[in-house]
Structure 1
């Protein structure tokens, strides 16, 4: 098959498009003919050897995909050949075919565009797991979303509003904040121009926020911790800002607050039933128009280097997708 090949942990430009051994489904797995793949910030790190997991070389990158079932491994039930599906793959999505454990594959409802579905699992899956399972976000609570113009941040804004929260979106530019407003944010903070903590105080009457969703890390994390209300929860999503922060334990103690880690991919493997239910709920919301994914750019899969550089530049507003032709 044709695929994006990572021959060594190296800069993004070392990726190539070429022939790679076609995968075969093992027991408990499905083989998927890929239609589209989502591009995520960890993909940028994995190919450079900067992520916490390092696949055996050479490998095909790409952590999520949509397509149609091409083959069914022994013991798999509930799927048929040519079913429309979306999958969390970990690696392997940037190619014509990918094999995936069946517990990490979910049916795509009729009427949902497969290319749009390709970008649902990691961003929406992470945010829904974070807000529902890890923070137990309640209607009427106040949610502060950092990096609100990025791929996961926008989904947190949208889902937080759908779950009944009062949502404060924080980002570094006016255009990103406008996008967050369009996704349902009640209040906006431009932390490139405003003091985040003082603005949160003003917007909450000095109370602080119940939940902080932080995919950025860096120095903004400490400010966010100081902005928590009594009993508040800090969701540690990732470190797109590059710096892993240290959280002073006394700040959590003084507010009876919690810092909660969120790693959706491992949660899917540890709790396939619970996370499967979450994914089916998200796909139903998508089918009924309750959530509307924002797509920044759609690249051909052969242009993967340009797509990853685009994401790496941190100018992305919404989701980056790759599409593939079976004959490419």
Structure 2
């Protein structure tokens, strides 16, 4: 099979021919049709992600495909079944071995590319806004990195939950994408006095921050009493330093949030969230935004689209055949 693998840290991943893996007990092998790319894939390639797979490995946290082989003890999935999986890595390959408990049957009408673009982006935003932030109708939600993979779904879901959504993104084109997803107010990330603009809009109740750095600081300083700030990531490179006395005075909650971590310590909320999201998809209520489809042999180009912030929504890598 072909796989886009990282052989050693510090070297770029490359397309290689390798042996198709065999599933161990409790695992299945998937014939991968499509793989959704995420900012975490860039961190994994650099060796700076919170989880480090053994070398060599193929990046690609989420994938969609058909079950090709069953490991011992797997009874709830069948050969040829269409599934979407959150594997953590391995998706940038024609075949991938995945824990059977990480596979979710796809709706019959769901295309493979939609499935590959779905789990991480929608799952991250939905669980954050419902389970962690308890976003309420009428509250003001600000989303940083609002045209990116998870940011755009936070805009879409927040608007559907009845919040007033403020989208922060870089440039008119990205802000237009966020507006089409449901944002009520738009702020260019390169404009001056973002804190002042947020305060002029009445301040914020919930911040969904994937960028960190100065944008986190602006959201923090524009927070209303009892605001909740969800720390999703640091795509801007700057890890915020939080002044605890300001938390105290304004009764602000800063919430650390790692969606994938729920698989290790409490998978039930994550599973409920995905079930609800797939029902919303089947009802036509949510629609994955894919800005680029890239063939496997050009997977490096897909990662570069994320690195250079030239994509909106999701980049999906598709396999031949």
TM-score of the pair, normalised by structure 2: 0.96
CA deviation profile, 1:22-49 (whole Å, cap 9, x unmatched):
2222222222110000011111121122
Higher mean alpha-carbon deviation, 267-276 vs 255-264, is at 267-276
CA contact (8 A) 1:3 1:19 kept: yes
1:30 is aligned, of 11, 28, 36, to 28
Aligned pair 1:5/2:5, yes or no?
Answer: yes
CA contact (8 A) 1:5 1:20 kept: no
What does 1:38-117 correspond to in 2, within 5 Å?
38-117=36-115
Question: Within 1, Cα distance between the matches of 2:244 and 2:267?
Answer: 32
The SS at the match of 2:304 is helix
Tell me the CA shift for residue 165 of structure 1.
Answer: 1.2
What does 1:1-328 correspond to in 2, within 5 Å?
1-11=1-11, 14-204=12-202, 208-326=203-321
Number of residue pairs aligned between Structure 1 and Structure 2: 321
The SS at the match of 1:67 is strand
Tell me the CA shift for residue 144 of structure 1.
Answer: 0.6
Unaligned runs of 5+ in 1: none
CA contact (8 A) 1:173 1:190 kept: yes
CA contact (8 A) 2:143 2:151 kept: yes
CA contact (8 A) 1:30 1:100 kept: yes
The SS at the match of 1:219 is helix
Task: Classify 1:275/1:77 alpha carbon distance in 2 versus 1 (closer, same or farther; 3 Å).
Answer: farther
The SS at the match of 1:286 is helix
Question: Within 1, Cα distance between the matches of 2:157 and 2:192?
Answer: 25
Question: Within 2, Cα distance between the matches of 1:269 and 1:25?
Answer: 21
Question: Within 2, Cα distance between the matches of 1:57 and 1:78?
Answer: 31
CA contact (8 A) 1:104 1:272 kept: no
Tell me the CA shift for residue 83 of structure 1.
Answer: 1.3
The SS at the match of 2:120 is helix
Higher mean alpha-carbon deviation, 126-135 vs 26-35, is at 26-35
Question: Within 2, Cα distance between the matches of 1:270 and 1:21?
Answer: 33
CA deviation profile, 1:208-244 (whole Å, cap 9, x unmatched):
2110000001121111111111111000000100111
Higher mean alpha-carbon deviation, 19-28 vs 173-182, is at 19-28
CA contact (8 A) 2:152 2:178 kept: yes
CA deviation profile, 1:61-91 (whole Å, cap 9, x unmatched):
1111001111222333322211111100111
CA contact (8 A) 2:198 2:219 kept: no
CA contact (8 A) 2:23 2:69 kept: yes
The SS at the match of 2:201 is helix
CA contact (8 A) 2:35 2:317 kept: yes
Task: Classify 1:172/1:155 alpha carbon distance in 2 versus 1 (closer, same or farther; 3 Å).
Answer: same
Question: Within 2, Cα distance between the matches of 1:104 and 1:71?
Answer: 15
CA contact (8 A) 1:268 1:276 kept: no
TM-score of the pair, normalised by structure 1: 0.94
